[in-house]
Structure 1
Amino acid sequence: MRPAPASAPPPTGHRQGPHGRTTSGTGPADLTEPSAQDPPAARPAPGAAASPPPPPTASDLPPLPPPFLPAQPPQPLPAPGEDHPAPRDYVGSGPPTYDAEPTALPSADPDGLDGLVADTVLDGARYGTCTLRAVSARGDSARYRGDPRRDALLVARFGAGEQALILVAMATGARATAGAHRAAAEVCQWIGRAVGRSHARLAEDLRAARRGELKSGLHRLTDRSLGRLRAGAAEQGLAPEEYAATLRCLLLPADPGCRTRVFFGAGAGGLFRLRDGAWQDMEPGAGDVAGEPVVGFGSPPRARPGQAPDETPEGDRLTMDLGVTTPPGPSGGPPAGPPREPFRFRASVARPGDVLLLCTTGLAEPLLSEPELGEHLARRWSGRTPPGLAEFLADSRVRVKGYADDRTAAAVWEA
């Protein structure tokens, strides 16, 4: 990653993003490298013992992005001891089209019962300073039609004690394809095996804040897992887009002294942080360069009109090409098959009171489009102990008219 030219510091102006979100040119509190403009550290006098550098403080971190939700100023949070607002079935102008409860079951094969997918799965854990809640639930439209849940969820711990590493992986199979649920489940299992076999090294890199090693290593593991999915499509005689899935993951160290949280994956979805009662969009930017996946560090989640996909509003190029190109097609023509999703990576430092939310598009889209949903979840989840599994299920299932896809979400409360 090349630093911006040192001629003049970029302005800190804000811009208006999709769905009315306001974003800034600076990213969230990521594991960023020192700027070339930082003054050199004072050298000790000859013969004097070198003292260790002081630990970073909140003032050393880059500015935070402004909240994108709620659109209106949030209501005051409940005072200590005061009850939080009750769960709701839906938000918006009216009830959704479909019933809230399951209607039809997916068709079952008597010789393939191990391939059945439950309507809803719940999981959770508490390690170090964080409490995890995770859910994957079939969407209202799939419940009505009797389709299987296309989303898959994997929550796994590798290792023991403070050396353990927790992986949350979620995937969404391609829409309107027969094997969508199998593709999602397979890619979660493959990334789980890959991370599990490398968990000791990954946990060490997390504790040492080795951003470069984490980025390159996780990119390789993600490419291998998605590559196996494409190979599976070829074995079945299917086009790559007919047996495909998105993949979004969180890595959480069990060490209470390490507050680094790492997101990685490929494909659409959402990554949000609830801090001080307001939501922040943490989704890392990704370039739209044909054939060359790009990963952003500290770049805004979306480019403004007319802006290069790998530039901030101030013109800083904060993304880097990882050199993974798509092979050319026959006779040197354009690449065969659909373009591959770019790899996305975000390493951030958590603070007490934060809530980090990773989700598939089934929850990300209504959260971005319906301010009332963000306001409700902010009031439900801020300034309190983490909800139990049943409460978290109810909160994640608050419905919005016009959004009936599967919902998979994992939220991490920081103590």
Structure 2
Amino acid sequence: MRPPRPPRPEPPQPPAPPAPPAPPDTYERTELPGQSLPAVPAKPAPGASPSRTRSAQPARTAPPGGDHADPLEPAAQAASLEPASRPPVVSHESTPPRRHPLATPPQPPRPAARGAEYVGERPPTYDAEPTAWPAADPQDLDGLVPDTVLDGAQYGAVTLRALSLRGDSARYRGEPRRDSLLTARFGEGDGALLLVAMASGLRGTDVAPRAARDACRWLAGAVGRSHARLADDIRGGRRGELKSGLHRLTDRSYGRLRARAAELGLRPEEYTATVRCLLLTADPQCRTRVFFGVGTGGLFRLREGVWQDLEPEAPPERTGEPAVGYGSAPADTMTVDLGIPTPGLTPPVEPEEPAAPGEPFRFRASVARPGDTLMLCTAGLAEPMRGEPELGGRLAERWAGERPPGLAAFLADTQLRVKGYADDRTACALWEA
């Protein structure tokens, strides 16, 4: 048996020829406006000649490794293969997020209105802005009362601002404003008589706004019918006659309120209101300011930066006679249009029943000085003026300028809020030049 043939040795393989040197890298430089970036090597396509290369995208800036760091990171290598028309990637940190076309863009926070300011240690309980409207009667739309009434004027050296504002409590509960404001001018020229009347209806009754409005309207009508005589007495400084005549006019207006209450089937104390009025003439040479009214409220004067409480003291009992110290005047200065008896010509008339049970008639006449500010207001503002000294101090700062505030500024000033005082506010201020 023949032995196996030994394996034939393979002939040695010739050494492989050295690989041709790689073509030199081709670099393209792309510059952005205002920025110079390093070049990105463009790799030649397979089978393409070294001279034809694909355009590359600009690379990111070199890493902090220095010149020896690899300029082609994996992300940069992938980016170098993208078409040249692809827009550069922008960081999300510098680009606002895309929003839905119907989405509402966020609004900047609204600054707090000046009227939303408050004084005292704690903020008020209720919101500073109106919340709910009062319920309306389709058969009595004339009885609707707006939230705010604002008025102003200027006659000679005096500038007037007047306002009636629904309280925070009534705004929150959807109750109507119980305060009423009436401003009127009777006559022409320097002989004109200016009247500001304000009233506050009884709390807790549905007829309070109407009673306050009737009180202002009926009293203003009585004053208007005798405005010539009243203006003449104011210019003549006949305070005693003014007090008696205005007292009787006020009593007769309250008599009409009592009659109206009987028509509505109400008790007299249910259809009533407190009334405060201010009278002055348009004559620039006359600086006499006359106040009269019934019920609570305030009469303040800002003189030389200090508030003075001018609320007249209630007399011990009602007599219907002029107050002592107001002087005397000729008998014919007031006529029977005011219901005042003329001594020696008409028989004495017994005083009518008081204007309001338990509420005396108040009267004061004073002469203003240049720079004075006189403020008449209802209890809604008088009580915080007396209970929170910071309120008076803030108003004194704001009203210390050479020019009186405008209507909007006066509104913001008088609704400066105080915790614990959320009632209606009605006020009239006079600036004396």
Q: TM-score, normalised by structure 1?
A: 0.69
Q: Select 1:198's aligned residue among 205, 214, 226.
A: 226
Q: Select 1:349's aligned residue among 367, 371, 394.
A: 367
Contact 2:288–2:367 (Cα < 8 Å) also in 1:
yes
Q: Select 1:375's aligned residue among 385, 393, 405.
A: 393
The residue number in structure 2 matching 1:118 is: 146
Q: Select 1:391's aligned residue among 409, 413, 428.
A: 409
1:209–1:338: structure 2 CA closer, same or farther, 3 Å change rule? closer
C-alpha deviation, 1:287, in angstroms: 2.5
The residue number in structure 2 matching 1:404 is: 422
The residue number in structure 2 matching 1:175 is: 203
Q: Select 1:245's aligned residue among 265, 273, 280.
A: 273
Structure 2 counterparts to residues 225-240 of structure 1, below 5 A: 225-240=253-268
Q: Deviations over 1:80-100 (max 9, x none)?
A: xxxxxx876110011100000
* Structure 1: unaligned runs, 5 residues or longer: 1-85, 300-321, 328-336
Instruction: Determine the C-alpha separation between the residues in 2 that align with 1:97 and 1:203.
Output: 45
Instruction: Determine the C-alpha separation between the residues in 1 that align with 2:430 and 2:242.
Output: 20
Contact 2:116–2:128 (Cα < 8 Å) also in 1:
no
Confirm or deny that 1:281 pairs with 2:281. Answer: no
C-alpha deviation, 1:413, in angstroms: 0.1
C-alpha deviation, 1:404, in angstroms: 0.3
- Letter of the structure 2 residue corresponding to residue 251 of structure 1: L
Contact 1:284–1:296 (Cα < 8 Å) also in 2:
no
Instruction: Determine the C-alpha separation between the residues in 1 that align with 2:279 and 2:362.
Output: 14
C-alpha deviation, 1:235, in angstroms: 1.5
Instruction: Determine the C-alpha separation between the residues in 2 that align with 1:411 and 1:338.
Output: 26
C-alpha deviation, 1:384, in angstroms: 2.3
Q: Select 2:243's aligned residue among 206, 209, 215.
A: 215
Consecutive aligned runs of 4 or more in structure 1 exceeding 3 Å deviation: 291-299, 322-327
* Structure 2: unaligned runs, 5 residues or longer: 1-113, 327-348
Confirm or deny that 1:147 pairs with 2:179. Answer: no
Structure 2 counterparts to residues 5-404 of structure 1, below 5 A: 89-289=117-317, 324=351, 326=353, 339-404=357-422
1:177–1:350: structure 2 CA closer, same or farther, 3 Å change rule? same
Q: Which has the higher contact order (CA 8 A, sep 6+)?
A: 1
C-alpha deviation, 1:324, in angstroms: 3.4
C-alpha deviation, 1:339, in angstroms: 2.3
1:268–1:162: structure 2 CA closer, same or farther, 3 Å change rule? same
Instruction: Determine the C-alpha separation between the residues in 2 that align with 1:357 and 1:161.
Output: 25
1:273–1:298: structure 2 CA closer, same or farther, 3 Å change rule? farther
Q: Deviations over 1:245-297 (max 9, x none)?
A: 001000011000000000001110000000000000111111243x7578767
- Letter of the structure 2 residue corresponding to residue 152 of structure 1: S
| Corresponding pairs, count | 298
State which structure, 1 or 2, has the greater radius of gyration over its C-alpha atoms.
Answer: 2
1:326–1:200: structure 2 CA closer, same or farther, 3 Å change rule? closer
SS in 1 for 2:130: coil
1:193–1:386: structure 2 CA closer, same or farther, 3 Å change rule? same
Instruction: Determine the C-alpha separation between the residues in 1 that align with 2:373 and 2:128.
Output: 26
Instruction: Determine the C-alpha separation between the residues in 2 that align with 1:210 and 1:278.
Output: 29
- Letter of the structure 2 residue corresponding to residue 193 of structure 1: G
Tell me how large the CA RMSD over aligned residues is: 2.1
1:338–1:118: structure 2 CA closer, same or farther, 3 Å change rule? closer
SS in 2 for 1:232: helix
Report sequence identity in percent. Answer: 69
